[in-house]
Amino acid sequence: MDKKYISSVVKREARPRSKRLRELGASGSSGSSGSVISGGDTIVASGSAALETDVTSNAAKTGHIETGQVLVKGMTFTQFVKALLFRPVPATLDGCLSTANDVEYGSTKGNITYTATRNGNGAMTKAYYDNDEKNKLEFSAENNGVQTAVRNLTGNYTQNETYKATVVYAESADKSIPETTLNNTISVNVRRKWFAGVVDAVPTTGAQVRALGSSGFYTGAGSYKFSVGRWKTIVICIPEGTVNELTLTAYPGNFIEDAGVCSGPAPISVEGANGSTAKDYSMWVIRTDGTNDADTFTFKTS
């Protein structure tokens, strides 16, 4: 007797993947929006989540979020991450003087190089100097957010000077940085010099005074030092005030009080740098009979 086998196949109806996802995600939370897209075995979520209410941080400072900072309702996830990890950096302005900030009377003026860096701001909208928008500062084209300008100064220094530059940047595209006004101020102090050194003969001209071995900016009453080699006669010249004490490292006495070796003050006219206007200096002379060892002098003025 032949046996017969009966096989049966149960066919299940396939449900579209997107339909299953819709059923699973039918109850999305309010406060988020977006869609889920299915393609084969890949699921991609698009859209952005947002805060449903204001949130005030009561934690210790976290990233750039301060304690007590309010994260406002509607802030997106991207905005939250930026608030946490990114602090907007505003523009900067720096100035560099080609000479020192302390110069001798009569010195030639140099120039100032300004470097403006945009960082997170919008474009530069104004640039001028000395508080007058008519005095335009011409900056170079922007290169990686940086622009430079050079202000050439003319003439010679005869008094203290202050140079000011102003640059204005627009607010950032996302308005996280407001319009920014930057100021850079550079001051130059103009001073006469003191002169001192060993001599064979006492100076009689300003040029001879300027040729002395040591000098420095005279800043008023204070203490000044200079070193000498072996010596018999030295002179000290200052543009104002009086020398009331002169000592050596190896000699505790005050030469100024020793009338046997010290004379002065005597007046002598000394020019500024580059042959500029002379000023009456006071000169002290220290003479000894023998030759003395090298040493360091300290003189104090008032």
Domain ranges of the chain: 54-87, 92-191, 193-301
**What is each CA distance from 36 to 56, 175, 202, in whole angstroms?**
31, 32, 98
Digit-coded pLDDT (tens) for 56-114:
888 888 777 788 888 888 888 777 777 777 778 999 999 999 999 999 999 999 999 99
Nearest to 157 by CA among 114, 208, 98: 98
Question: Over 70: is that where the pLDDT of 49 sits?
Answer: yes
Give the Cα separation of 178 and 175 in Å (integer).
6
What average pLDDT does the segment 156-164 reach? Answer: 98
Please state which of the ranges 28-37, 47-56, 139-148, 195-204 shows the lowest mean pLDDT: 28-37
- What CATH code is assigned to 92-191? 2.60.40
Residue written as token pair 């050079």 = 150
What three-state secondary structure class fits 144?
Answer: coil
Dist CA 90 CA 88 (whole Å): 6
Using the CB atoms, write b or e for 217-233: b if 16+ within 10 Å: bbeeeeebebebeebeb
- 30 DSSP 8-state letter: T
Please tell me the least confidently modeled range out of 114-123, 159-168, 246-255.
Answer: 246-255
Q: Provide mean pLDDT across the span 215-239.
A: 97
Give 48's pLDDT tier (boundaries 50, 70, 90): low
Strands (E), the chain: 32-39, 42-49, 55-56, 70-71, 92-97, 102-104, 111-117, 124-129, 132-136, 146-152, 161-169, 180-191, 193-198, 214-217, 222-228, 231-238, 243-248, 262-270, 279-292, 295-301
**Residue 238 or residue 39, greater confidence:** 238
The torsion angles phi and psi of 278, rounded to 5 degrees, stand at: -75, 160
Exposed, middle or buried, 166 (CB in 10 Å: 0-12/13-18/19+)? buried
DSSP 274-286: GG---EEEEEEEE
Share of the chain above pLDDT 70, in %: 84
Q: What is the DSSP letter of 256?
A: G
Two tokens, residue 212: 């002395």
Q: pTM for the complete prediction? A: 0.73
- Is residue 155 within 8 A of residue 109, CB to CB? The reply is yes
**For residue 39, pLDDT beyond 60:** no
pLDDT at 260: 92
SS3 annotation, 170-221: CCCCCCCCCCEEEEEEEEEEEECEEEEEECCCCCCCHHHHHCCCEEEECCCC
Lowest mean pLDDT of 19-28, 55-64, 208-217, name the range: 19-28
> Do residues 166 and 128 lie in contact, with contact meaning Cβ atoms separated by under 8 Å?
yes
Angle, CA 271 vertex, CA 266 and CA 276 arms, to 5°: 155
